[in-house]
């Protein structure tokens, strides 16, 4: 599973960062 290891993970992290 390399889906969360790519740009998708960056987008998720960015989303979480914005939520905080």
Q: What is the pLDDT of residues 4-18, one digit of tens each?
A: 667 878 888 888 777
pLDDT given at position 18: 73
More confident residue, 2 or 16: 16
pLDDT given at position 9: 80
Contacts of residue 4, Cβ cutoff 8 Å, sequence gap at least 6? 12
More confident residue, 10 or 2: 10
pLDDT given at position 15: 80
pLDDT given at position 4: 61
HSE-up (13 A, CA, CB side) for residue 5: 2
């Amino acid at each position: 599973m390399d889906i969360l290891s790519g740009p998708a993970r960056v987008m998720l992290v960015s989303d979480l960062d914005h939520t905080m």
